[in-house]
Structure 1
Amino acid sequence: MKKSISLFLIIAILSVALLSTASAVSDNSTGEIADLRSKIRSIHDIDSNMYNRLEEAVIKKYSDVTKGAWYMSVMVKLVGLSALDGSLDNKMDPTGTVTRAMFIKMFIRAMYGVEGLDGITPDFIHWAAKDVKKAEQAGILAQGEYTLANLSEPISRGEMAKLIVRAYNQFEINPLTIEKCKPLAKDIKDYNRMDPAYQPYALIVYGSGIISGYTDGRFAAEDKANRAQASAFIIRYLDKSERAKVVIPSTEAVREPMVLRYDDPYRPMAIEGDTFIKPDGTEVVLKIGPSGVLGEEQGCATEIGRIDRGGTPIQEGDLGADEAFMGQPYLVDEKTGEGHYRTEWLDIAQRL
């Protein structure tokens, strides 16, 4: 009898010790996450070092996530942005259902941070009410679109696509258009069976690489997304490096390379393989550079003097009128004479 009691006491003591250790680890990781979050203001603050520290803390804290799982990079980043938390029993629940309230909270806090809700006066009482109001102010939700009556309902992939595209159209530099993405409809196997209200949003998120669809080619707009999928969609919207690479078939006839003279205002926009004759008579065969930019490191300003859709010759600083660079200034490096539109220079800068 005494042996039984002693054994019971030993087991009880060990159990308490193990629970205390687990609790201490959880408390420590919670503190680590809070400390790291205090250093993050946007997705751009999560570099490789910050990500590694966040991932380590997340794995320590949450018992149902695995290093190397497809969802880790996106969920870890959302945790860092203070947009995603686990449950009280330290579960991240990647496969859990996402409600409208959950999604709008994740999306808004990933975009604006918790401090972005300061001064917001909600229209009703709910833990996501401020996020809803902020989304209305940002044009991501229509006034009264989300209410107490529907916030707890699961959100579909199509509805998430709609909200993301509303933000994308406002804040993305050089966003894709529906017209540009129309050729992709044939790649989405269930496009013609999809609710027509979701079709334009599906084209944009598919074309931009934000939502890729399933391996069988379906977009499945009516499907309910889980927490991992919702995290992926939000992070891909915020972080272009996480997006899928999508090649959109051109609807325009492809011309053959030709000779372009700097003093011919009616020359077409340059393409790879064109020979560009510079003001000093130098002939340059245009190539795609290491950053994916045409004419990179070739010292050419192929747009200067060309008449675009605006009807006047392009000068340095003019805004592009062609679809690919609509509204972007054309900038020329004084030292090299090389010219590119703003997003092209940004692509080059990211590589350097």
Structure 2
Amino acid sequence: MSTTPPAPATPIEDAARDLEAVLHEVKRVVVGQDAMLERVLVALLAGGHVLLEGVPGLAKTLTVKTLATVLGGSFRRVQFTPDLVPADLVGTRIWRPDTGTFDIQLGPVFGNLLLADEINRAPAKVQSALLEVMQERQVTLGGQTHPLPSPFLVLATQNPIESEGTYPLPEAQVDRFLLKVLVDYPTLEDEATVVSQAVAAPAAVRQVLTPERLLQHRETVRAAHADGQAVRFAVRLADATRHPDRYGLGHLRDAIEVGASPRGPIGLIQTAQALAVLRGRDYVTPRDVRSLALDVLRHRLVLSYEAHADGITADDVLAQVLDAVDPTSGDGQGRRLEALGDDHAVDVAA
């Protein structure tokens, strides 16, 4: 009796299966940071860089190293310090007296995954050297251009509780990070597992994907359909940070000095495509956009001095923006919004 052979898996099914295997393998080592792991994988699929912010000891470095092993790519780590110079990062030219020529010594940025540890401890010259690396994926030395390997991803970390000996990142550089992920403490149960793992033999992770396979999945991500509703929702979220009055958020006008750049809605759709594929879909929904809005937009807002003085964060502002912007229409959604203070609540007409 003949049986019908199973239908071949679709690109979406292939990608979802591979990515589930990657997450499963990484979670054998990194416990209690599921949201961070998902966001890093989304960035890998979308081809963007990630800024991880959290106190020391939350597995930021361990995540990057483990991911490099699971993906089979090359891993590079640079500890950013105040005395770092651009040549320590991108490389330099070395004079050879015996040949009378310069040799090119490439720097540690030439790898698939670059961990820029405590990125805000390096001065402006080093940060400017990263701009070409992050945007053009290349390094220019002595008039020669050297392309970086593909895929290439910068995962930068910074400590939010230390300001001594640090340099604020330039806005142009911060805007080049696709995501800024806030890493929080694990739950009590997850932390107990972390402690148990720390005193036991380390788990051995295996490679389950290749860089070439990841690039194939990126093509699948780019093919995921984002309809007009999802695109308009992403654009309106960014527009609400620039013109809050249009969405009944006039009370935010003095809190926002500069709204999200056009990279904001572009990044929202790119990451939403990756999240959809990660969840086994070939189409984007407004819910995907909403899920990623904080991570894509929080570092693209420049808050005013008054907002900082009042303890208002970018997440506080974005929470109100998300509450005001209706994903199904072009206007602000009619509902009661809480303003920056308890005594400033306003009603927005439908």
Q: TM-score, normalised on structure 1?
A: 0.24
Higher strand share: 2
Considering only CA atoms, is the larger Rg found in Structure 1 or Structure 2? 1
